[in-house]
Amino acid sequence: MISWYVVFAGVVVMVLSALGAATLPRVFDRLHLLAVTTSLGVPLTGVGLMISQGWSESSAMIAVTIVLVALGSPVISAATGRLAAQHEGLVEEESPS
């Protein structure tokens, strides 16, 4: 029973974050809401699903997915922010060396 409350809390965080992102005009503001989703929404949902499944192969796959999202999200956010800044002329376009 508690697991579904945790899943629901994660889904609420992600839905509110998506609704907020839909209302914000700049990509940089929307990136902040992506951080909330990946640092709070995904782990809450994943942990709730892991509790409801018990320890099994499927809960291990959920744990791996949570770790991949946690590790990949900062990289994707930084790349998206850098590209948007280059597109708007806020930083110079240069290739990393």
Per-residue pLDDT reduced to its tens digit, 47-86? 999 999 988 999 999 999 999 998 998 888 888 888 888 8
Banded model confidence at residue 29, pLDDT cuts 50, 70, 90: confident
In our burial notation (b when 16+ CB lie closer than 10 A, e otherwise), range 34-64 reads: beebbeebbbbbbbbbbbeeeeeeebeebee
Question: What are the domain boundaries of the chain?
Answer: 1-88
Better pLDDT: 67 or 29: 67
Q: Angle CA(39)–CA(42)–CA(44) in degrees, nearest 5?
A: 95
pTM score: 0.79
In the DSSP assignment, the letter for residue 88 is T
